[in-house]
Amino acid sequence: MFKIVSLKNGIANVDGFYCDAVNCGLRPNTQQGDLAYIRSDELCNIAAVYTSNKFCAAPIKHALRYGKLFEGNFVLINAKNANAMTQKRGIEDIEEILSNLPNGLNIKNPVMSSTGVIGYRLPKEKIISGLQKLDFNAKNSDKLANAILTTDSFKKELCFKVKLEDGSSFTIAAVAKGAGMINPAMATMLCFVATDAAVPKEDIQSLLKEAVDESFNKISVDGDTSTNDTVLLMSNGKSGAYDKEAFKIALKRMLFELAMMILKDGEGSNKVVAFEVVGAKSDQEAKIAAVNLSNSLLVKTALFGADPNWGRIASTIGASGIECDEEKLKIYYDDLIIYSSEYPELDSEREEKAYKIMQQDSFKIRCDLGLGDGRYTAYGCDLSYEYVKINAEYRT
Amino acid sequence: MFKIVSLKNGIANVDGFYCDAVNCGLRPNTQQGDLAYIRSDELCNIAAVYTSNKFCAAPIKHALRYGKLFEGNFVLINAKNANAMTQKRGIEDIEEILSNLPNGLNIKNPVMSSTGVIGYRLPKEKIISGLQKLDFNAKNSDKLANAILTTDSFKKELCFKVKLEDGSSFTIAAVAKGAGMINPAMATMLCFVATDAAVPKEDIQSLLKEAVDESFNKISVDGDTSTNDTVLLMSNGKSGAYDKEAFKIALKRMLFELAMMILKDGEGSNKVVAFEVVGAKSDQEAKIAAVNLSNSLLVKTALFGADPNWGRIASTIGASGIECDEEKLKIYYDDLIIYSSEYPELDSEREEKAYKIMQQDSFKIRCDLGLGDGRYTAYGCDLSYEYVKINAEYRT
């Protein structure tokens, strides 16, 4: 057995990790940083998960030269400019910036991570002079967490201390910013996880992949996939402690909580809804249905209006192309059955109950296809006027 | 050579076709019909294209017993109730209703077509008594066109007279209602085409399929596919005239014009945008990119805000999974180049020009992937506050 304790602050708590942020002139509000770093004094095993967007941004192309599993100890992060669709020049800019990192820190294989507008080259000079202002021995996780935000309304950082049965312990912390979260060219999801657990090379990538699949890959604000999405897990092993099962659970819990924070912070979003599809022919079919539900405009606007119109749910499942049968389908809002072939018409009593469920901050829509054992849960949010406003008025 | 002339009114103009509509109590506004029919006094070759939604509604299941190509002469249409997700009872209700059609009209293989809310059985008694009020020898195409509307803001009917080189001529007319058009359970697209051309059985279905693929299947208001979408083409041959090429062109033109009317009437939509993707590896890849663009929330809100943020266009193409290369991609708004690897950054002059283009009622976004000969054009509209309002507030 092991025990997980939540701590305040984020990456600052992790032994051997340092972080800081400054404003180097990319962001008009000079009170908020726009250039940040995370580094470890020891070399780390690093695992990465990047966007599936074919137009992945220059920082991802640059980092991929080390592969998705590599040894390194430094990541530089900027906001307000995605360095995407900048071709080879974008990569050359990164090389030049990183060549200006200070000596004496034993930096190895440094990478960069960017979020912001697509299609503009990085303001190199500003960033290079910003490097002079960073304190490379600081533990300013709060500054870091704020500096990487774009359209987010609150910072997202977590830290867990994990105590193992043998008395040893390790710390794991993460910082993230908004995701698929709608603001157009700024819809990037970034997450950096630092741990002093001694995660071996053979485990680190599969652990990260699995945790990302069960968290960030299950949420959708608007169905769009950014050019810059990045999740990095850095393990410096300084605690000497490691237990695969404990680490896996702690990492999954941390990324899932961050994913829910991101969804809650989706622009204009008021509700977080779990779309649980069970009884599908296969997990793959359940996933198709759940993801379609979380992305459907008709479903998302019904959530905003708290309209218990289950016809939109059924129609979306039917349109998704998976096997389904109206005689076998059952739809529940939380524990309330809202459709089955025995209850074909919604009476006013059940409609009223459904309306109340839908007014909650979060609830579950459960669709039992009654055909097999396939299951998947996707998480989505409602679509409000605010979403349209934010996205229509951005830049104009 | 042949000549196509537009006529006023719709199906009323076609020899041997009759239509009428009454209000039988499904729609609160008694000035507007909710029950309509189209019939031919001669037996027709009928071709049908139905929704791909697996939960297709009872009227479609009922009609499919005749196949997608059949002989018949009567369609009964109701608004306000989709008769979807009503299981076998929904089909039995149709059988009972149709058994009440008057004798003496030589009705063969009558079908029904419905649009409205999902999940409620048809009010059979109202419809059956409504049948008594219909004039089965009327040519009230205006009443028909209005009765089938749900959230549409204007009626959609067209009629062409086609004069062939040999001096013969035929008439083709169609009536349609809103599509994928967003109002939730009412998002159905219906279209009925009547012609006195002598379209032979061996041509009629492929002609309809091709015309639908190049019109209704290229438009998207919200990416949702209704349970009730139906296009019927009825040919009674009364003119004795037919020329395959002329008929094909007239039918395609008619359905394309109706599709554009539907898009223009998309709820809350202000703009019709053609997403033309060229230079893709294959037509199929071009189609994936074009359809993704027409459905992207980020793209649709940018259209509403007239924001020339081409990063959203590039990001959507990259996320669609097709082969693409940022060195080869070119993006144009009408004839204005807005991205190529030689023009990486949008200057204020081009941005101003792009903004002007985007303020038009309709314009084209052209993406040249520079990789091959694949091409496809999809048509979409913007996403406004009004869309959210209509869909969030429906029923509540």
Q: Is B168 on the interface with A (CB under 8 A)?
A: no
- In chain A, residues with a C-beta closer than 8 Å to the C-beta of B82 are 311
Judge whether B11 and B194 are in contact, CB under 8 Å. Answer: yes
State yes or no: pLDDT of B267 exceeds 80. no
CB contact under 8 A, B298 and A391: yes
Residue in chain B lying closest to A395 (CA): B307
- In chain A, residues with a C-beta closer than 8 Å to the C-beta of B338 are none
Judge whether B2 and B157 are in contact, CB under 8 Å. Answer: no
Q: Is B123 on the interface with A (CB under 8 A)?
A: no
In angstroms, the separation between the Cα of residue A244 and the nearest Cα of chain B is: 33
In angstroms, the separation between the Cα of residue B182 and the nearest Cα of chain A is: 7
In angstroms, the separation between the Cα of residue A293 and the nearest Cα of chain B is: 11
Q: Is A43 on the interface with B (CB under 8 A)?
A: no
Confidence of residue A182 (pLDDT cuts 50, 70, 90): very low
- Tell me which residue in B117, B225, B345 faces A319 most closely, judged by beta carbons: B225
CB contact under 8 A, B54 and A322: yes
Kindly list the catalytic residues of B: 188
The pLDDT assigned to B98 comes to: 98
In angstroms, the separation between the Cα of residue A286 and the nearest Cα of chain B is: 15
Residue in chain B lying closest to A330 (CA): B85
Q: pTM for the full model?
A: 0.85
Q: Is B297 on the interface with A (CB under 8 A)?
A: yes
Q: Is B301 on the interface with A (CB under 8 A)?
A: yes
In angstroms, the separation between the Cα of residue A131 and the nearest Cα of chain B is: 25
What are the CB-based long-range contacts (under 8 Å, 24+) for A66-71?
A66/A109, A66/A111, A68/A205, A69/A45, A69/A201, A69/A204, A69/A205, A70/A46, A70/A109, A71/A43, A71/A44, A71/A45, A71/A46, A71/A108, A71/A109
CB contact under 8 A, A185 and B319: no
The model's pLDDT over B1-34, given as tens digits with 9 standing for 90+, comes to 899 999 998 999 999 999 999 999 999 999 999 9
Mean pLDDT, rounded, of chain A: 90
Judge whether A223 and A387 are in contact, CB under 8 Å. Answer: no
Judge whether B312 and B299 are in contact, CB under 8 Å. Answer: yes
Terminal CA-to-CA distance of chain A, rounded, Å? 55
Judge whether B183 and B150 are in contact, CB under 8 Å. Answer: yes
State yes or no: pLDDT of B255 exceeds 60. yes
CB contact under 8 A, B311 and A187: no
Interface test with B, best of A297, A338, A347, A384 (most B CBs within 10 A): A297
CA distance A295 to A306: 17
- In chain A, residues with a C-beta closer than 8 Å to the C-beta of B396 are 305-307, 355
Q: How many CB pairs under 8 A join A and B?
A: 243
- Tell me which residue in B310, B312, B324 faces A54 most closely, judged by beta carbons: B324
CA distance A337 to A344: 11
Residue A384 vs residue A130, higher pLDDT: A130
Residue in chain A lying closest to B322 (CA): A54
- In chain A, residues with a C-beta closer than 8 Å to the C-beta of B86 are 344
- In chain B, residues with a C-beta closer than 8 Å to the C-beta of A389 are 385
Confidence of residue B184 (pLDDT cuts 50, 70, 90): very low
Per cent of chain B over pLDDT 90 is 69
- Tell me which residue in B225, B298, B304 faces A187 most closely, judged by beta carbons: B298
State yes or no: pLDDT of B225 exceeds 80. no
Q: Which chain A residues in 332-391 lie under 8 Å from chain B, judged by CB atoms?
A: 339, 341, 344-346, 355, 383-385, 387-389, 391
State yes or no: pLDDT of B181 exceeds 60. no
Mean pLDDT, rounded, of chain B: 90
The model's pLDDT over B322-365, given as tens digits with 9 standing for 90+, comes to 999 999 999 999 999 999 988 768 788 888 999 999 989 899 99
The model's pLDDT over A281-313, given as tens digits with 9 standing for 90+, comes to 999 999 999 998 988 877 888 888 777 888 889
State the alpha helices, DSSP H only, in A135-264.
141-147, 201-213, 244-264
State yes or no: pLDDT of B182 exceeds 80. no
CB contact under 8 A, B319 and A396: no
The model's pLDDT over A332-381, given as tens digits with 9 standing for 90+, comes to 999 999 999 887 677 888 889 999 999 898 999 999 999 999 999 999 88
Phi, psi of A318 (to 5 degrees): -60, -35
The pLDDT assigned to B81 comes to: 93
Mean of pLDDT values over B305-332? 89
Strand ranges for A236-370 from DSSP E: 272-280, 330-333, 336-339, 362-368
The pLDDT assigned to A221 comes to: 67
Confidence of residue B179 (pLDDT cuts 50, 70, 90): low
Interface test with A, best of B298, B383, B389 (most A CBs within 10 A): B298
CB contact under 8 A, B307 and A396: yes
Q: Is B82 on the interface with A (CB under 8 A)?
A: yes
Q: Is A119 on the interface with B (CB under 8 A)?
A: yes
Mean of pLDDT values over A90-101? 97
> Residue A39 half-sphere exposure, CB side, CA atoms within 13 Å?
22
Interface test with A, best of B224, B227, B315 (most A CBs within 10 A): B315
Which one, of A360, A344, A246, A300, lies nearest residue B117 by Cα?
A344
Q: Which chain B residues in 324-343 lie under 8 Å from chain A, judged by CB atoms?
A: 324, 326-327, 339, 341
CB contact under 8 A, B311 and A84: yes
State yes or no: pLDDT of B209 exceeds 80. yes
The pLDDT assigned to A393 comes to: 57
- In chain A, residues with a C-beta closer than 8 Å to the C-beta of B120 are 344-345
Kindly list the catalytic residues of A: 188
- Tell me which residue in B118, B309, B394 faces A395 most closely, judged by beta carbons: B309
- In chain B, residues with a C-beta closer than 8 Å to the C-beta of A54 are 317-319, 321-324
Strand ranges for chain B from DSSP E: 3-7, 17-22, 35-50, 69-78, 111-114, 156-163, 169-177, 190-195, 219-220, 230-235, 272-280, 330-333, 336-339, 362-368, 374-381
Count of all residues that appear for chain A in the document: 396
Mean of pLDDT values over A40-65? 95
User: Range with the lowest mean pLDDT among A20-24, A34-38, B227-231?
Assistant: B227-231
Interface test with A, best of B81, B83, B186, B326 (most A CBs within 10 A): B326
For the four alpha carbons of A290, A291, A296 and A299, in that order, the dihedral sign comes to positive
- Tell me which residue in A82, A306, A316 faces B396 most closely, judged by beta carbons: A306
What residue ranges define each of the domains in chain B, with the CATH number in brackets? 3-264 (3.60.70.12), 272-393 (3.10.20.340)
Q: Residue A217 contacts by C-beta under 8 Å, 6 or more apart in sequence?
A: none
CA distance A111 to A93: 12
The pLDDT assigned to B396 comes to: 33
